[in-house]
Amino acid sequence: MSSHDVLIANDPPSSLVRVAGAFPSSKNIHEFRDHLFNKDNMVTPNKRWDDFHPEIPKYAGIVPDVTKFDTGFFGIHERQSHSLDTLARLIQEKTIEAVYDAGLHPSDLEGTRTGVFIGSCFSESDKSWYFDRMLPQTYAMTGNVGLLFYYNRPTVNDSPQGELFLEAKGSILHNRHSLQQLLYALEHAFRSIRMGEIDMAIVGGVQLCLFPFVTLQFARLGVLSKDGFCKVFDKSGNGYSRSEAVGIIILQKSKVAKRVYARVVHAKTSCDGYKEQGITYPSGKAQMELLNDFYGECNVQKHDLSFMEAHGTGTFVGDPEEGTAIDETMTANRKTPLLIGSVKSNIGHTEPASGICSIIKCIIGMETGYIPPNIHYETPHETIKGLVEGRLKVVTEKMPFEDDRGLVGVNSFGFGGGNCHVLLQVKAKKKVNKGQPKDNLPRLVCISGRTEEAVHSLCDEISQNVLDVEHIRLLHDVFR
């Protein structure tokens, strides 16, 4: 715990303890991290459908290997697995990865008060299941109906086949609040833990772009970039590419967490209500009100913020509204420019999953000590005075955090006027002797995997950590 924790008036009991995900051109967080630091554009020519309509952009951010699923591991009947919404499969896979990432075994969650809070817009495979594939002997109803079953599937077991996997007993929330669902879901989870309703929360966001005419509707709305570049905060910004992602983070009380990536200092949402410009127009005024209320409630000085991960979409309206709101509320009394960025410059807009991508980008920065850079930024948007006059600075190169406060804000907003903000703080801990043991006793590590490749991967990870005793303890907990 750093000396700056005294800034927090009411020390929250929850920490972000584990993460897992898949992102455009990235099967896991390690590949995602490398792409971010290499400044790769993870938006690629679209491979989900043929180029058959001139208005549909030719670029998107595509998650690899979404057709693969280990039905036996999850105890799902093979016929059900072929009738199961792809979103459900991805959520289950990444939930289990996140559990393992914490040094837990899935059986540890049996009977616990673990809630599930998932954000998504809609399933773009509904048309296929309900109108195109009218085949007998399928389980499309239980695999897709109402989007509810695949949020139950990771948790509550009331099935003799063991389909509902973790056997936890907690609240379930499916949030469909447009483009900022993940942070809305996180805020609900954060408050549920603080109120004592649950002890742990699985929080996730998921998006797949499977039906081309959904993308067509976004294109006709005028928010999509045709060149595949999301030029966030740049004067040449002309929209974003629709992209895919799935991510899971798990919140747990700090006192029982075995592994902590960051503390969740505070989370808050608001809605800006009626606007003359229409339902899709973001309100900079409402965003400013949220930020002012937010930092007043958690008693953190706004000028102490280390970095702001903005919503930043590269659109004509969104960037100026958000950039101006951040400048007006967050830059007063700062001695240095406020560093800002948006992961959408690297991967496009994953819509309901965008918040999870932003948070995981921040965690990557906290774990490595370096802020991942934005790409496609050259000239600041002339209407964002904070950028033009130097009070805000877009991070365009890999750079270390310039202070030791470790306070990172994450912004999000979307259709309908929803606004969200989350404040994270680095859980700093220095390794003693690089984590190596003080004695010279040999360590026996028992590991297993469903493939030979999985076992080799675990062995490689052990070698890379040079016998870090804490890492070994996590593996012991998983494979005990």
pLDDT given for residue 414 in this prediction: 77
Nearest-Å Rg of the Cα atoms of the chain is 22
Determine the average pLDDT of the residues in 108-125.
82
Instruction: Please identify, among 381, 401, 426, the residue that sits at the C-terminal boundary of a domain.
Output: 426
Where is pLDDT greater, at 230 or 78? 230
pTM value is 0.88
pLDDT given for residue 18 in this prediction: 74
Are 276 and 304 part of one and the same domain? Answer: yes
What DSSP line would sit under 397-447, residue for residue? S-EE-SSS--EEEEEEE-GGGEEEEEEEEE---PPGGGG--SS--------
In a domain, 212, yes or no: yes
Are 460 and 399 part of one and the same domain? Answer: no
Number of domains comprising the chain? 2
pLDDT at residue 262 is higher than 70: yes
Residue 260, domain extent: 3-426
In a domain, 432, yes or no: no
Are 441 and 471 part of one and the same domain? Answer: yes
Are 446 and 422 part of one and the same domain? Answer: no
pLDDT given for residue 160 in this prediction: 31
Are 89 and 216 part of one and the same domain? Answer: yes
Q: Report d(CA 358, CA 348) in Å as an integer.
A: 12
pLDDT at residue 477 is higher than 70: yes
Residue 214 near residue 124 (C-beta atoms within 8 A): yes
Residue 436 near residue 33 (C-beta atoms within 8 A): no
Are 215 and 276 part of one and the same domain? Answer: yes
Are 235 and 316 part of one and the same domain? Answer: yes
Residue 127 forms beta bridges with which residues? none
In a domain, 294, yes or no: yes
Are 399 and 445 part of one and the same domain? Answer: no
> Which of 170-184, 196-210, 230-244, 369-383 shows the lowest per-residue confidence on average (mean pLDDT)?
170-184
Q: Which is nearest to 406 in space by CA: 262, 258, 219, 204?
A: 262
Q: Exposure pattern of 243-272 as b/e (b: 16+ CB <10 Å)?
A: bbbbbbbbbbbbeebebbbbbbbbbbbbeb
Determine the average pLDDT of the residues in 128-140.
64
> Which of 206-215, 308-317, 428-437, 448-457 shows the lowest per-residue confidence on average (mean pLDDT)?
428-437
pLDDT at residue 155 is higher than 50: no
Q: Which of 14-23, 82-91, 261-270 has the highest mean pLDDT?
A: 261-270
Q: Exposure pattern of 141-150 as b/e (b: 16+ CB <10 Å)?
A: eebbeebebb
Are 189 and 40 part of one and the same domain? Answer: yes
> Which of 161-175, 300-314, 439-453 shows the lowest per-residue confidence on average (mean pLDDT)?
161-175
pLDDT at residue 22 is higher than 80: yes
pLDDT at residue 411 is higher than 60: yes
Tens digit of each residue's pLDDT (9 = 90 or more) over 188-223 = 999 999 988 998 899 989 999 988 988 999 999 999
Q: Report d(CA 229, CA 45) in Å as an integer.
A: 11
Q: Which of 117-131, 143-157, 282-296 has the highest mean pLDDT?
A: 282-296
Helix crossing, 452-464 with 469-479: angle to 10°? 150
Are 131 and 266 part of one and the same domain? Answer: yes
Q: Which is nearest to 324 in space by CA: 389, 409, 280?
A: 389
The residue assigned the tokens 């003080």 is: 438
Are 471 and 337 part of one and the same domain? Answer: no
Are 245 and 324 part of one and the same domain? Answer: yes
- Compute the C-alpha angle 207/210/213, nearest 5°: 110
